[in-house]
Amino acid sequence: MIKNDRYLRALKGETLDRPPVWMMRQAGRYLPEFMKLKEKYDFFTRCQTPELAAEITVQPIRRYGMDAAILFSDILVVPQAMNIEVEMKNGVGPWLPNPIRSMADVDKVIVPNIEETLGYVMDAIRLTKQELNDAVPLIGFAGSPWTLLCYCIQGQGSKNFDKAKEFCFTQPVAAHTLLQKITDTTILYLKEKVKAGVNAVQIFDSWGGMLSPVDYQEFSWKYIQQIIEALKDDAPVIAFGKGCWFALETMAESNASALGVDWTLTPKMARKLAGPHMTLQGNFDPTRLFSPPTTIKKMVTAMIDDFGKDKYIVNLGHGILPNVGLDNAKAFIDAVKEYKQPES
């Protein structure tokens, strides 16, 4: 049904003419058409108005023709639905006026009715699917329970999420109770998203790399695995853990359809750790999009050669940065479309 299904076929590990390509945060601030909407509507208005979310989702596809769209939204709509106040402050980013600091705070957190609290996301999905008209697949996403806990406890972004980690290490029962509530909500949320029409779901574990390998298993991966197990029969699940190279071997034993990797490991090392059967996604350094377009094209071609064209989805190693030039983003996408396998 999907006309360009390279992305879905790569998730199944099929042999393709070239790997599919999309960019994390592709619906974002490097696009002038996005900036126009950003100037008119505040952050949560953009998330919560299906027409705006759908338009923003489709903008990069219209301009560059990536092989997949990803619904414009934010990982923090989930804690918001769970009775945790979340604001987006200019120049600060996420801001939670009442961060969770005790078991009593955790007790106030609810596992919500998804349709009542996040129905606007499902409306945005249905509208986006109409606009995409099956040209490319639509990806839905959620933050990992650990990454959401980081914001819920810390109350804002942080270079080390010290308060979040202190909470886990001194109040582990409260931490696990919160993680389980987030996990339960995320499973319900992602299942609704699939019902509304997304073709795959990606879990973003942006802060998993803050944990030691042992703590990562206990506070992050355990919960991501629950999500993968609950969703695997509904849609392909992609797990992306920034800085989580140390867990790749374990992650590769899961039922995830693909694993995202950042740019701190070579394609060769990623493949070695994840094994030959897992589809990998990544891992261009987003700041390398500041290089001249000709350099970008060479680097992307070399990256595909190194990962191999199959069982591979071309992406950045983290979200695209706001001040990347339009021609630079285009060079990234075009290099994939123009890819020819080296003669062996």
The contact set with a copy of itself (CB under 8 A) reads 157, 159-160, 162, 165-166, 169-170, 209, 211-215, 243, 245-246, 263-266, 269, 285-288, 290-292, 295, 321, 323
Give the type of residue at 215.
Answer: D
Nearest to a copy of itself of 159, 277 (CB atom)? 159
Q: How far is the CB of 152 from a copy of itself (least distance, A)?
A: 17
Q: Assign 100 to helix, strand or coil.
A: coil
d(CA 231, CA 160): 30
Residues 6+ apart with CB under 8 A from 306: 266, 267, 268
Q: How far is the CB of 184 from a copy of itself (least distance, A)?
A: 26
Nearest to a copy of itself of 108, 268 (CB atom)? 268
Q: How far is the CB of 100 from a copy of itself (least distance, A)?
A: 16
Nearest to a copy of itself of 185, 328 (CB atom)? 328
199: number of Cβ within 10 Å: 22
d(CA 288, CA 273): 24
d(CA 202, CA 282): 13
Tell me which long-range contacts 33-42 makes (C-beta under 8 A, separation of at least 24).
33/59, 33/63, 34/59, 42/88
Nearest to a copy of itself of 131, 215 (CB atom)? 215
- Would you say 236 and 11 are in contact if contact means Cβ atoms under 8 Å apart? yes
Nearest to a copy of itself of 60, 208 (CB atom)? 208
Phi-psi region of 280 (alpha: psi -120 to 50; beta: other; left: phi over 0): beta
Token pair 């897992």 in the structure block, residue: 278
Q: How far is the CB of 12 from a copy of itself (least distance, A)?
A: 29
Q: How far is the CB of 84 from a copy of itself (least distance, A)?
A: 22
Q: How far is the CB of 293 from a copy of itself (least distance, A)?
A: 12
Nearest to a copy of itself of 33, 166 (CB atom)? 166
